[in-house]
Chains A and B, each alone.
Chain A
Amino acid sequence: MQQPVFALIDCNNFFVSCERLFRPDLEGRPVVVLSSNDGCVVSRSGEAKALGIPMGAPAFKYRQLFNREGVVRFSANFELYGDVSERITRLLTRVTPRTEVYSVDESFLDLSRLDITDYDAWGRQVRDRLLREVGIPVAIGIAPSKTLAKLASEHAKTNARLEDVLDLARLPSEECELYLLRTPLKDIWGIGGRLKPRLQAEGLHNALDIARLPMRRAGQLMGVHGRQLVAELNGQVCHPLETFGRVRQTIMKGRMFGEDTNRFDVIEAAIASLTARATFYLRREGLAALGASLSLSTDRHKPNYRRQQQVIRFNAPTADTGRITAGLVTAAEEAFSPGFRYHRANVLLYDLVPEQSLQPDLFGEVDPEHQRSTRARLHALDAVNERYGRGALRYAAEDLSQAWHPRQQLRSPRYTTDWNELPEVYV
């Protein structure tokens, strides 16, 4: 049996890189991309990071700094990012079909079955090809497990000496441990903000500390997930490449509120965010849903525990984030009672069918051109949602729910998806 080897291909500041593709003049200048209603920063160039602009920074708070430092601002251009992401996927899938698109700007590749002797050289070749052919810079981490590959890509991205590629698979274990030692908790895949303070209180501060935890202790601290994390950090595969073809029955996404809430706008925000995440997986697997349900519950450890569930059906299978969100928000309005303080929201998509059988129009014809542009938009939206899911953007969904009528005052042309907005070349 071959030794498992994974690569994570991570696009640097993906949205900014897309904006720079047709604007070489933006190289070396601070650039930020704002969420769809220009609310907050969702992607920053290295120069913008150096100015101290944090991820998720509200645009209005940083307006002065933007103007003073000449920061170039863009509204999120969903179509462009979706199209570029698709080009990257297509290229990677030619490298190996064993590719998992993890998000709009990250893909895992399973290299185990490829005939590669020098992974570092292979990584540099893939990096060069993506930069040259698609025009997007990437960082690549290579390692025996997905968690380690992700960790390696973080170093590849931030440590200039590595020049965008780090191969942990062929590194002597002492050197590998040095990288783990230099990885803070926040950069470990799967350690969220909730877990971090607890681990720090235990005197655990970096990936090496976690990797050296006895299994029993890891289980006590972090549950099953923690045991898998320790195993993965030691190079044992717990998370194989998510294989295609496995047809899911349902997709569920849930979230606890930061604090219990009786505000409908917070619930609405959560619904939009959860729906966007659920539909991301739906589309990724080429599926569409005939039904969706929403459950809202109060804290079960407090008195008067209450759980409300609303079910909606669609007259045709759909993978449209906006449509499902709108349906669930309407359902939530019916169920919502300001007298309760809600603790958790779950969104469930069910009755899933393959997307191919989608949306014939009145005459029974399918318009692939139209569907393509809709899907490109949705896939790019998934990107923004990914950001929100991962980041600490509390009112993310306000942006997402408005994404269907965005302000987008600063949006660049849809260079690659609209005949009327092609980039211009002068003679």
Chain B
Amino acid sequence: MQDDLEIMADGDGVSVHSGFPNPAADQRGRRTGLALDLNRLLVQHPSSTYLFRVSGHHAAAESIYDGDVAVVDRLPTARRGDLVVSWQDGSLRLCRQHQLLPEDSIWGVVTAVIHQYR
């Protein structure tokens, strides 16, 4: 993962990896043994990235379907046109940044939506 690689690069001789509370974290993505790790493609910032399950049928026009997995990053600043998760009227909702009202707060920016066909 990007973060972990940077830690190794930044290290000043102190062994970070042995000190991690959960060494298994390093194993993420290695399970499949594939050279191309989808985590690397989909997750730019592991610390700030959370996964959500899409619920509802009102975004089919945008090719986002009930049951899809949304990859949501809290780090980036939302720009016009970005798909965001925001807190609206008591629930977390998916919409475009420019559709927000001033009282809505942004939870994170959607960086990918995963739709599985089978």
Interface residues of A in 77-113 (CB under 8 A from B): 82, 85-91, 93-94, 97-101, 113
Contact mask for chain B residues 1-35; partner A; CB cutoff 8 A; 1 contact, 0 none: 00110110011101110111111110110110000
B90 at the interface (CB under 8 A from A): yes
30 pairs of residues in contact across A and B, judged by CB atoms under 8 Å: A24-B87, A24-B105, A24-B107, A85-B21, A86-B21, A86-B25, A88-B47, A90-B3, A90-B46, A91-B47, A93-B16, A93-B20, A94-B3, A97-B11, A97-B16, A98-B12, A133-B74, A135-B74, A244-B14, A245-B14, A245-B19, A283-B21, A285-B18, A422-B53, A423-B53, A424-B55, A425-B53, A425-B54, A425-B55, A427-B56
CB contact under 8 A between A132 and B22, given known A90-B47, A372-B28, A425-B55:
no
Is A22 touching B92 in the complex (CB atoms < 8 A)?
yes
Q: How far is the CA of A33 from the CA of B90 in the complex (A)?
A: 22
- A→B interface (CB under 8 Å): 22, 24-25, 82, 85-91, 93-94, 97-101, 113, 132-135, 243-245, 283-286, 354-356, 367-369, 371-372, 375-376, 379, 415-416, 422-427
Question: Which A residues are CB-close (under 8 A) to B21?
Answer: 85-86, 89, 101, 283-284, 379
- B→A interface (CB under 8 Å): 3-4, 6-7, 10-12, 14-16, 18-25, 27-28, 30-31, 45-48, 50-59, 64, 69-70, 72, 74-75, 85, 87, 90-95, 105, 107
Is A133 touching B14 in the complex (CB atoms < 8 A)?
no
Question: Which A residues are CB-close (under 8 A) to B11?
Answer: 97
Q: Which 6 residue pairs spanning A and B have beta carbons closest together? A: A244-B19, A368-B27, A133-B48, A427-B59, A372-B24, A427-B56
Q: How far is the CA of A367 from the CA of B92 in the complex (A)?
A: 34
B114 to chain A, nearest CB (A): 11
Q: Which residue on chain A has the smallest CB distance to residue B75?
A: A133
Q: How far is the CA of A93 from the CA of B47 in the complex (A)?
A: 11
CB contact under 8 A between A415 and B50, given known A245-B15, A286-B18, A376-B22:
yes
Is A244 touching B47 in the complex (CB atoms < 8 A)?
no
Is A97 touching B7 in the complex (CB atoms < 8 A)?
yes
Q: Which residue on chain B has the smallest CB distance to residue A420?
A: B53
CB contact under 8 A between A422 and B69, given known A368-B24, A427-B93:
yes
Q: How far is the CA of A134 from the CA of B73 in the complex (A)?
A: 9
Question: Which B residues are CB-close (under 8 A) to A132?
Answer: 48, 74-75
Interface centre among A134, A425, A426 (most CB of B within 10 A): A425
Question: Which B residues are CB-close (under 8 A) to A82?
Answer: 22
B57 to chain A, nearest CB (A): 8
Q: How far is the CA of A422 from the CA of B46 in the complex (A)?
A: 16
CB contact under 8 A between A245 and B18, given known A87-B46, A368-B28, A427-B56:
yes
Q: Which residue on chain B has the smallest CB distance to residue A382?
A: B21
Question: Which A residues are CB-close (under 8 A) to B20?
Answer: 89, 93, 286
Question: Which A residues are CB-close (under 8 A) to B22?
Answer: 82, 86, 283, 372, 375-376, 379
Is A425 touching B85 in the complex (CB atoms < 8 A)?
yes
